[in-house]
Chains A and B, each alone.
Chain A
Amino acid sequence: MDSALATTDPADLHAGQEHGHVSLPQHRHHFETVEQQREAGSFGMWLFLLTEIMFFGGMFLAYLLYRNWYYPAFVVASNQLSVRIGTINTMVLITSGFCMAVGVWAAEMRRRSLLVAMLVTTTLLGVLFLSLKYGEYHEKYELHHIPGNNFNISMFTNPAGYGIKEAPLPPDMAQKTQVFFFLYFAMTGMHALHMIIGLGILCWLISRARRGDFSAGYVAPVENFALYWHFIDVVWLFLYPLLYLINRHPMH
C-alpha cells in the first residue's frame, strides 16, 4: 500500500521526465503523450455511451414490439401529446447541443469567458427543456393519463365527448393506451433523468471553468461531457418522432 501510494505521489508524476513528459499538470504518468491520454479518455467515454445505447435500446425495442401489437391504441394516445411542445423541445435541445459544441471550441481556443457563457447557455436551455417537459407531465397527471389505478380510458372510448376527432377504441384496446403512456413516461423519464444528471455536471464544469481550469490547454472534461450531452440529444431525436408523430395525418 505504501509503495502504491509512493508511485502516485504528485511529485513523481510531474517531476520525472524519463518518458519525455511534457510538464502539463493534467498529464498523467502512465500515458506517453497528452494526445494518447486524450484519446484514451475519448475511447472510455465512447464505451460508456455504447452501454447507454444498449440501455435505451431495450426500451426502444419494447416500444417497437408493443407499437406493432397495439397500434390503434398507440396512435390515439400519441395524438394526445402536444406536437408543438415536442417540436419546440427538440429545437431547444439541438440549440443546447450547438452551444455545448461551441463551448468545446472555446475551451480549445482557451477563451474562458466564452466557455463559461456557452456552458451557462447550455444549462439554461436544459432547464427550459425540463420545464416544458414538466408542463407536459402535469397535463397528463390532470387527465389521469399516468398508468396505474387512476388511469382513465374514457377519452379513448368516447373521444367525441372530449371534442377529439378520433375513432372510439373498444375498451380492451383503450386499456392498451396505458402501455403507450408507460413507455412514454419510462423513456422520456429516463431521458429527463440523464438531463438532470447532465445539468448537475454542467454546474460543476461552470464553477471549474470560471476558475480557468479548462482554458489553459486542458479540455478533456469539457470535451467528454459534450459527448454525453450530445448523446442525450440524439436519444431525444429518436423519441420525438416515435412518441409524438406516430400518425398525425387524418386517419379516417
Chain B
Amino acid sequence: MTDQATHAHLDNPEHAQHRIVTPLQYFFVYIIMLALTGLTCAAAFVDLKWANAVVAVGIACTQATIGALFFMHAAFQSRLIKLTIGAGVFMFLVMVTMTMSDYMSRSWGMW
C-alpha cells in the first residue's frame, strides 16, 4: 500500500498523498463546530440590526468551510478536487448573483 501510494505520487502530481486524520483532530473540529452553533444561537438573541443575518450566515459559512476541509477531507485532497469544489461553489454564487440582480432590477423601489 505504501509503495503503491509513493509510486502513484511520483508518477502523477494529481495524486495527493493519502492522509489519515486522527480522532483527536476530529474531536477538536467537533468542539469548534459545537461552539460555533452556540455562538450563532446566542448572537440571534442580541439586537445587531441588519448585522444579525450577516453574522448568522457568516458563522454558517465558517462551519461549512471547517466541515468541508476537515470532516470531508477537502484540505487533504489533490489540487484537482480542491479546484473542482471551489469552481462549483463559485458557480453557485454566480447563479445566485445573476438571479438576484434580475429580481432586483425588475422591482426597483420595492426593496
Contacts and interface: CB of A to CB of B under 8 A. Distances in A.
Interface string B29-42: 11001100100110
Contact of B20 (A57, A108, A226): A108
Interface in B37-59: 37, 40-41, 44-47, 52-53, 56-57, 59
A101 B59 CA distance: 22
Chain B: interface size category:
35 or more
Given A57-B92, A61-B96, A65-B103, A237 B1 contact: no
A183 interface: no
Dominant secondary structure of chain A at its interface with chain B: helix
A54 B95 CA distance: 9
Chain A contact-residue range equals 35 or more
Nearest to A217: B1
A33 B7 contact: yes
Interface string B83-111: 01100110110011001100100000011
Given A94-B34, A101-B71, A233-B67, A35 B4 contact: yes
A100 B21 CA distance: 13
Nearest to B17: A35
A123 to B, nearest CB: 17
B84 A33 contact: no
A34 B67 contact: no
Interface stretch (A147-155, A192-200, A240-248): A240-248
A249 B4 contact: no
Given A22-B1, A53-B92, 4 more contacts: A39-B14, A53-B88, A105-B22, A230-B67
